Structure formats: structure tokens, C-alpha cells
Amino acid sequence: MAPDLRPAFAEALGAFALVLAGCGAIMANAETGALGHVGVALTFAFVIAVMVYALGHVCGAHFNPAITLAFAATGHFPWRRVPSYVLAQAAGATAAALALRLLLGDVAREGATALGAGVGPLQGFVLEALATFLLAFVIVAVATDRRAAPGVAGLAIGLTVGLDALAFGPFTGASMNPARSLGPALASGSFAGLWLYLTAPIVGAVAGMLAYEALRPGRLGIEAKEPLGALGPVPALSEAPE
């Protein structure tokens, strides 16, 4: 039986939307100043929230290689499906970045993530890891613990993205997502510090999910519940439909 490619395609679409809207907002602000830091952060929050609700039941709504790898590392997602998800996420983000470069020209370089003035590589690595730690902690809590209120995943995850963007954006760009950084880097040819954005989110995401696993009732000898999805019992954000 041929594999179902719909979840991977949905992941690509989600990553495409993330870069198109989020990086598009950065570029619009660079050209007009109309959005400001808060407006850009809210754009990233909104696009993640709406895409989780739109595609969570199709693919699990990872849209982020670091989240996919962390779900796999904590037993919430099968390793055999990781390559197709990561490739789809990278492809979607790159396609959006190339589209923005084609449509908007050199201002598209503004979409590439870079460290702020006075922020060194080690500081940037730790800040990106901490931002992703918080994001992954919230994701695994609302996506895999049945005690979480149903239907709140998109809102909670979107708000966390916005919170991280507000707090860490001036220092690192608050990528929290290797695909989000890779796509604009490829489209603009801006590879300085890319290694940081490809590695720190993975470290932070795995640590964040492991931290929540330590708090899960099953760890204390109490029966843990099966995963809860974004909008209902199944599928979970961690596991997409077969």
C-alpha cells in the first residue's frame, strides 16, 4: 500500500504559511514601519494558532523539525515518520521564502534570522534553546495530556509563540524552528549563524518535552491518559493519522 502523503503535505503547507505570513510581516515592517515588533510577534502567533486549528486533525500540526524530533524522542511520534515530516517542513518554509524573494525583492533578506547587536553565539544559542524549551513544554502539555482543556491547543501554542517572539525576538529573532530559519537563509544567501538556529531549537525542544514528561502523572505511578488532540480526542498533535 502506498504511503499516505497527505500529512506530510499538510506539514509543508503549515510551514509555508508560517514563513509567508511571519516573514512577510517582518518585510512589511522593514518597508513601512507599520507593524513594529509587537505586530510582527502577533503575526507569528496568529498564523501558528490558525494553522494548528486548520491542520491539526490532518497532520498533527508540528510545522517545526525541532518539535517533530522532540515528539519522537519522547515516544509521542514514530521515528519512521520523522524524515518525511522534516523534509516537508523544510520544503514548505523554503518555498515560502523563495516566493517572498521573488515577489518583494531584496527586502526578503530581512526574513533571515540573525543575532541582535551585542548578542554573542553562546548567548544566542542559550536564548533560542530557552525559547524553544518553553514552546515545546506547552505543546506537549496541551497536545498529549488528556487533563488539558480540550480545544485550547491552537490558542495556547499561538500565544506561546507570540510570547517568545516578544521576549526573545530583539535578541535572536526568536526562530524556535530550524525550517523557519533554513528557508529564508536559502532564499537570501544569508547563512551567518545558521548552525545556531538549526541546533539550539532541537536541544530546547527535547529538554522542554522531557521536563513535562517528568511532571506527567504516569511518572508518579498514576495511570497517564492517552494523547489529546488540538480539537478533540484524536488525532493528537504529536501523532498524525495513519
pLDDT at 226 over 50: no
Largest alpha-carbon pair distance within the chain? 57
Pairwise pLDDT comparison (223 vs 118), residue with the higher score? 118
How do residues 26-68 score in pLDDT, each as one tens digit?
999 999 999 999 999 999 999 999 999 999 999 999 999 999 9
pLDDT at residue 218, rounded to an integer: 66
- Confirm whether 229 is domain-assigned: no
Examine residue 150 and state whether it is found in any structural domain, yes or no. Answer: yes
Residue 235 lies in a domain: no
pLDDT tier at 240 (50, 70, 90 boundaries)? Answer: low
Q: What would the DSSP string read from start to end of 194-226? A: HHHHHHHHHHHHHHHHHHHHHHSGGGGTSPPPP
Whose CA is closest to 143, among 64, 42, 62?
A: 62
Taking residues 112-119, what's their average pLDDT?
Answer: 93
CA atoms within 13 A on the CB side of 201: 26
- Does a structural domain hold residue 233? no
Residue 21: C-alpha distances to residues 18, 99, 141, 177, 184 (Å): 6, 12, 26, 15, 13
DSSP code at position 192? T
**At 33, phi and psi to the nearest 5?**
70, 15
In a domain, 241, yes or no: no
Residue 126: inside a domain, yes or no?
Answer: yes
Range with the lowest mean pLDDT among 92-96, 132-136, 227-231? Answer: 227-231
Above 80 in pLDDT, residue 25?
A: yes
How far from 76 is each of 63, 92, 145, 171, 198, CA to CA, in Å? 16, 23, 11, 32, 22
Number of domains in the chain: 1
Rounded to 5 degrees, what angle do the CA atoms 121, 125, 131 make?
140
Helix or strand or coil: residue 229? strand
The whole domain housing 208 covers 6-216
The CB density around residue 79, as the number of other CB atoms within 10 Å, is 10
Q: Average pLDDT in the 91-100 region?
A: 97
For position 179, which CATH number holds?
1.20.1080.10
H-type helices in the chain, by residue range? Answer: 6-32, 36-59, 65-73, 82-104, 121-144, 153-172, 178-188, 194-215
Residue 190 pLDDT class (50, 70, 90 cuts): confident
Cell of 223: 495511570
Q: Is residue 47 part of a domain?
A: yes
Residue 231 lies in a domain: no
